[in-house]
Structure 1
Amino acid sequence: MKFMLHILGIFCCLCSCALGQNISVRPNVVNIGALFALNSTIGRAAKVAIAAAVNDINNDSSILAGTKLVVQMQDTNCSGFLGIVQVADLVEYYGWKLVTAVFIDDDYGRNGIAALGDELAKRKLKILYKAAIKPGAKKSEMAAVLVKATMMESRVFVLHANVDSGIAVFSLAYNLSMTSGGYVWIATDWLSSYLDSSPRLDMGLMSIMQGVLTLRLSIVAPEALNRKPSSPSNANKKLYTAIWPGETTTRPRGWVFPNNGNDLRIGIPNRVSYRQFVSVDPQTGVVTGFCIDVFVAAMNLLQYPVPYTFVPFGTGRENPSYTELIDKILTNEFDAVVGDIAIVTNRTKVVDFTQPYIGSGLVILTSVKKQSSIGWAFLQPFTIKMWCVTGMFFLIIGTVVWMLEHRVNDDFRGPPVKQAITVFWFSFSTLFFAHREDTRSTLGRFVIIIWLFVVLIIQSSYTASLTSILTVQHLSSPIKGIDSLIASDEPIGFQVGSFAESYLVNELGVSPSRLKSLGTPDQYKEALDLGPKQGGVAAIVDERPYIELFLSEHDKFAIVGSEFTKSGWGFAFPRDSPLAVDLSTAILTLSENGDLQRITDKWLTSGSSASPSDDLDADRLHVHNFAALFIICGLACIVALAIHAGILYRQYTLHVAAASGPLSAAGSSRSHRSSLRSFLSFADHREVEFHKSANKDHAAIAAGGSSSGVSFTSSNSTNTSMSR
């Protein structure tokens, strides 16, 4: 109410001054302009108050005596708020996740910092700490605020204050060594503009504030600026290399470990089983294990010291719930969680994980039986399709060789039954290189050479596969994978504290009544030995690293199927923690320099993790294993038959021409050429008969007599074939 009365009084004074200059001529309308930052608290309140005051004045005719008051309000879009947007863009551009806001704790300061927080939130950044300075504070009070701010992680300071307070803050920061290497100060635009030309500053402080603390940099990427044509308007927008505090061109990280004297509280699972990953000595409290060694090695690679303390979580009687362990970060009981923590979707929504340091995924562990060799084991090296394709090629090769050898080789002639038997015998005897028939044609030998090479490869592969099948004990299980396990309706085991339980229930729809919690490898073995009919389980679903450790000591069990989830283990930190980023880089370094593998070899041993069904299938030979050989052999057959057909057709043409003679009728010649039966009869005869007949015909034609060539007609083909 007082604010509105003040506004009303101000307007009355303004109107009186405006109207008092010329009483005799009273205007109908008095226009007054008002400039406010409408995005600020004051601006929003003033807008409402001014509108109400104008309405009251115009409704009371005794104030302006019939003159109407019009107030035109404009948003100043003040440089302070434009500067806030630019500051947020600058912080985002340089990759700083956290900032410390230093401001005067009045309406203007609070509104500016609130606007900054909103702009940073749009870019998934945030204000880590708000260093509020009371209006009219003494230098000692300002210094206390700045000292407290230096104990926080962020080294990026955004100053939002009036000129006098800003100068005082800068002077104190300089005296507190807060302008050295690693610090970044960003002032809002109105203060930056003042610093550009202010005569009130001595040259030393001016240099510090302009060259070190106040970044007047373009936030537009150099690539974007360079693509634009040069012009006077954008010549000043080019982004030059910044000289950061400490006279360096290296961009400050913008974050350090907080210097507040407190160690990081690192929560670790107090495991009961699989203590190779994390182990806490109940007597001395010493923490060891694979995960611990990886964490310590990564921390040693950081460029700044980070004091920390391991805090065990769990009763020590059973493995703790990892979901509850992660929740301790949300309640600030732990600053981080280290251990065999699987990176799963639900957890990534509440915490940040480092780069995975070991691969993981859910697999199925079950009992397997040794598969003895059966009487039909000799068929197992080839798949059914492979047997069919191989047999078909034996017949194809036999037929092709018969076609190429029939006219020149007596071994491939005779009665039809004898020739069919020869084709089958020759085909399959090549498997043992025991074929008695000789090949005389060049094309036939060409095909046989390629085929014998294919047979050699197939025979050698078959022998090796059969040897493996007969000598290696294969394992079998009725459960082949996650689908058959879900469909079986039999009990399923899982490790206490693992996310496997929630995944089976929520993602795969397994009934909770089917699940049985197991805590130790001995319980794994006992439950699998008993089986579902005696109170045990049909299989256990757990992460691969645990299962591989279990299999290194138990060979009666095996992994069936493949991993049905893909994840890894990482270290958990609060959201937007810079430590998660730095440790991820350190983990990658450990992987590249071989230290991660050495730690793995120290703590973990590889077990038999192959799938039994995959073992047998890996020994079997498929068609695609010999696809190239079959294609080459098929092409050789096609080429040989094409050449043979061309030669045969040419001989037949010459034979017809010789048999017709120069005086033969044209109709008789056409009849011979078009007769398929005559061509087949010609192809069935020996090639030597063709040569003899051709020689006699040439001799008769030369003597002027008629041709006495042999007539290969259908009438005598049957009779002559009986003598071949």
Structure 2
Amino acid sequence: MTSVDLIKNVQVQAILGPQTSSEAVFVVDIGNKTEVPIISFSATSPSISFTKTSYFIRTTLNDSTQVKAIAAIIDYFGWREVVPIYEDTDYGKDMIPYLIDAIQDVNSRVPYRSVLCFSPTDEQIRGELYKLMTMQTRVFVVHMRTSLGSRFFSIANEVGMMSNGYVWIITDGLTDLLSSIDTSIIGSMQGVLGIKAYVPRSEKLDNFRRRWKRKFLQDNPDIDEVELSVLGLYAYDSFWALAMAVEKLNTVRPLFKRLDNGTNTTDLENLGISENGPKLRDSILHTKFQGLSGEFWLKDGQLQSSTFKIMNIIGKGEREIGFWSPTHGLSGNSDLTTKTSSQTNLGAIIWPGETTVIPKGWEMPTSERKLKVGVPKQDGFSDFVKVEKDQWTNATLVTGFCIDVFKAVVDSMKYALPYEFVPFEKADGESAGDYNELVDQVYFQNYDAVVGDVTILANRSNYVDFTLPFTDSGVSMVVPVKYDNRKNAWIFLKPLTTDLWLTTGTFFIYTGFVIWVLEHGINKAFRGKFSQQVGMIFYFSFSTLVFAHSNFLPSSFSTQLHNCFIHESNEHNPICHFAEERIISNFARFVMIIWVFVVLILTSSYTASLTSMLTVQQLQPTITDISDLKKNGDYVGYLSGSFVYGLAQSMGIDSSKLRPYDNVEEFHQALSKGSRNGGVSAVIDEIPYMKLLLAKYCTKYMMVGPTHRTAGFGFVFPKGSPLVPDISRAILNVTEGDKMEAIDSEWFGQQVSCQEQGTTTSESLTLDSFKGLFMIAGVASAIAFIVFFIIFLYEHRNIITSECSVSQKISAMAVEFDKEKDISSRGSKKIRFLYVCTKCKDD
């Protein structure tokens, strides 16, 4: 009977059993209209759910619950590409979006989806399998009905896809019904992994299995062996759940509310609405008990069970190798008490081809024997990549630094990787485009890879994948060098910058002035004519250049010079004539100690810097920064076709100031001429190119920078290519070993000694390096001066408090300051000054 007959004529209170998802779609729609609960233990499509149709109750697992378990296996073994194979039905295609999302969550990708029609012929299946064989991916997830799955694996075995290197994972629906598949088909599925809902063992379940198996074999004597599937357990528990719900509701008589919409209504519109339906639905949803399949409880209208077994098909059946749960992930045992991730925790797996070696998940496609590797065709910088024709055989020969690195990398890999180089050129032998266009050929699938001096750039990585770099990274600038500074007559001024010279001279005068103020009243050496006093200020402060280095003079000279400052008994000492006079004031001694220390540091630094400039060869750059080029309006060179053209514009260099060149010789000629004579003032490009330029002309140019960071040269592969991680690991092995040094020596060894000469520059000392010293000296002098001034004002406070005018007070103060004082009486409270101004006398 149909569902319509059951509701209309029998007036059933619930319907249990739409077995397929396509059947359930129709029945659920009727149940929704009549409010009759529809219970299914086998409609697993995620497109049908309680949230969309509130009278649909799923007492089996939603297909989407197993996708994370599948993704965990993929991540577990490190497979980076997976192809799902499914049938074009509600059951087959509805789960795929969930599967793809789960695969992507573990950093894998789905490069292709293989779809089979509802009832494909053997030839259609075989044609799809041949298509899969031409691809690199060797990991497949099969999601289809048992009848189609049996035919599919039988044909896959025939075409040789159940051999070494292949990985097959089947979903829950196919794994659960393996016992119903013919043993000959099982024989063609050896090594397949399967996902299956986990049902905990119990005495009740074991007794039921024995009774069911005995009854089934009595009714079907032609069948030798049979196992009860998990789906059968769900069906049994579903009947119990419905019976318990009806019993709890205590409703026996069906009640339907008829709809009277006229005489022309259809049978569907006359079915009416079940008055017991809402109560029965709620009763089923709240039913909980321990069933044969485990704990039976519903959430959001479907059965909740999140643990799966991982099976391996071996021999005539399947073997349990592990478990998965969302809480603990993969585990080798069913207690799931700890989260594990090591492969040793799973049981031993026999893979297709009867091997225990874990497949790497991809192989070179059988339809393409060699990897098609594109290489750039260029005229300049052939040390990196050089393409030429053999004169005798007309064969294409590709050589160069990048080519040798690639060959070394491939040779170091654990498996063979056949390849052939294809120059990126036109029919006439000219280059077919720039490097961006060459990289695009990988994106357009014209090349399988690109090898050469191709820079790793962010915008290129949006379309292709790069390996790790195998060269130095960065963009730098090469400029001509200046002449040797030792030939400069004014080189003695070079150790200090202009601002440091001016600051030092200012402090010499400032310190001399402070000493003069402190010593003028008590020291005869600081008295006399005005011109003599001014000369003394300059002479005394600048003479500290000699005092500061007294520790470098002979010890006797140092001692006697020290005595000139401290003692009074050295008037006739000839050395004291050099120091002229001793310093008497304690304030002046304090200032001089600090200042001599500052001068000692300055002179020592000056001596060291000048020595470096006179003894070390100087190769100074003519330009040190990009801003100099922009300010002067100079022309800048770059490698023709390079991305540096756009980079230079982004740095603020006008496009009219950029000139392209093709090789090292053209760079040299342009730099030799200079901007004013039709050349350039600097060349900007990647460091590997600049090293070649310097290797040949190391005495004429030098590198300044880097001015911009890049990732260096890398090999190009299609997006998501499984070759990228293997090639990158091989690059690390090559670059960290002796092989890379040998390649460098082969291509650049003759110029290495020239390049390693390098250039040593000794920068002038700047004011920033001595700010602290000048601050200490300035503060010390200021403190001594201020304290002296305060004491002087205090001693002559009678002038300040007099009734004279301000100008008269200042004049009186000046007179008192200029008077020669007796050091023994200085500061005595008994000394009093009397000054009566003319105006006061008149009064």
Q: Give the TM interval when normalised to the shorter protein.
A: 0.5 to 0.7
Match of 2:406, SS state, is helix
Preserved CA contact (<8 Å) 2:512 2:541: yes
Q: Which residue of 1 aligns with 2:642?
A: 498
Q: 1:682 to 1:411 in 2, by over 3 A?
A: closer
Note the 1:17-96 alignment, pairs <5 A.
17-19=9-11, 42=22, 46=26, 74=56, 76=58, 79-88=62-71, 91=74, 96=79
Match of 1:552, SS state, is helix
Q: Which one of 725, 728, 731 corresponds to residue 581 of structure 1?
A: 725
Deviations 1:620-657 (A, max 9, x none): 11122334544665677689889x979x98x999x99x
Note the 1:301-450 alignment, pairs <5 A.
301-314=412-425, 321-365=434-478, 370=483, 378-398=492-512, 411=525, 418=532, 420-433=534-547, 435-439=579-583, 448=592
- The total of aligned residue pairs comes to 624
Task: Give how far 1:526 is off.
Answer: 3.7
Match status 1:289 vs 2:289: no
Match of 1:339, SS state, is coil
Deviations 1:375-419 (A, max 9, x none): 665444322321233224334544565677678865456677655
Q: Distance in 1 between matches of 2:491 and 2:23?
A: 90
Deviations 1:78-108 (A, max 9, x none): 5212223553466467754211334456553
* Structure 1 counterpart of 2:690, one-letter code: I
Deviations 1:519-541 (A, max 9, x none): 22233334445556665556544
Match of 1:455, SS state, is helix
Q: 1:290 to 1:211 in 2, by over 3 A?
A: farther
Q: Which one of 677, 680, 688 corresponds to residue 824 of structure 2?
A: 688
Q: 1:488 to 1:52 in 2, by over 3 A?
A: farther
Give the percent of matched residue pairs that are identical in Structure 1 and Structure 2: 31
Q: Distance in 1 between matches of 2:66 and 2:98?
A: 10
Match status 1:549 vs 2:692: yes
Q: Which one of 238, 257, 264 corresponds to residue 371 of structure 2?
A: 264
Q: 1:36 to 1:143 in 2, by over 3 A?
A: closer
Q: Which residue of 2 aligns with 1:721?
A: none
Q: 1:509 to 1:416 in 2, by over 3 A?
A: closer
Q: Distance in 2 between matches of 1:392 and 1:509?
A: 41
Preserved CA contact (<8 Å) 2:525 2:580: no
Deviations 1:492-541 (A, max 9, x none): 54323322234456885844x66544222233334445556665556544
Q: Which one of 568, 584, 606 corresponds to residue 462 of structure 1?
A: 606
Q: Distance in 2 between matches of 1:541 and 1:485?
A: 11
Task: Give how far 1:318 is off.
Answer: 6.0
Q: 1:508 to 1:210 in 2, by over 3 A?
A: farther
Q: 1:435 to 1:147 in 2, by over 3 A?
A: farther
Unmatched runs of 5 consecutive residues or more in structure 1 = 1-8, 22-29, 55-70, 226-232, 657-675, 694-708, 717-724
Deviations 1:277-330 (A, max 9, x none): 123453264543322233333334434332222323236656952122112212
Preserved CA contact (<8 Å) 2:84 2:114: yes
Match of 1:126, SS state, is coil
Q: Which residue of 1 aligns with 2:196?
A: 193
Match of 1:573, SS state, is strand
Q: Which residue of 2 aligns with 1:701?
A: none
Deviations 1:580-613 (A, max 9, x none): 223333334445456545644553446779999x
Q: Which residue of 2 aligns with 1:160?
A: 143
**Structural RMSD (CA):** 5.7
Q: TM-score under structure 1 normalisation?
A: 0.67
Q: Distance in 1 between matches of 2:14 and 2:820?
A: 119
Task: Give how far 1:204 is off.
Answer: 7.9
Task: Give how far 1:431 is off.
Answer: 1.8
Q: Which residue of 2 aligns with 1:108?
A: 91
Deviations 1:316-356 (A, max 9, x none): 65695212211221222221111110112321111111222
Deviates more, 1:597-606 or 1:377-386: 597-606
Structure with more of its chain in helix, by fraction: 1
Preserved CA contact (<8 Å) 2:496 2:606: yes
* Structure 1 counterpart of 2:665, one-letter code: D
Q: Distance in 2 between matches of 1:533 and 1:629?
A: 45
Q: Distance in 1 between matches of 2:499 and 2:19?
A: 84
Q: Distance in 2 between matches of 1:521 and 1:578?
A: 37
Q: Which residue of 2 aligns with 1:603?
A: 747
Match status 1:278 vs 2:278: no
Q: Distance in 2 between matches of 1:543 and 1:627?
A: 39
Q: Distance in 2 between matches of 1:234 and 1:392?
A: 85
Match of 1:542, SS state, is strand
Preserved CA contact (<8 Å) 1:266 1:337: yes
Preserved CA contact (<8 Å) 2:424 2:432: no
Q: Distance in 1 between matches of 2:358 and 2:501?
A: 68
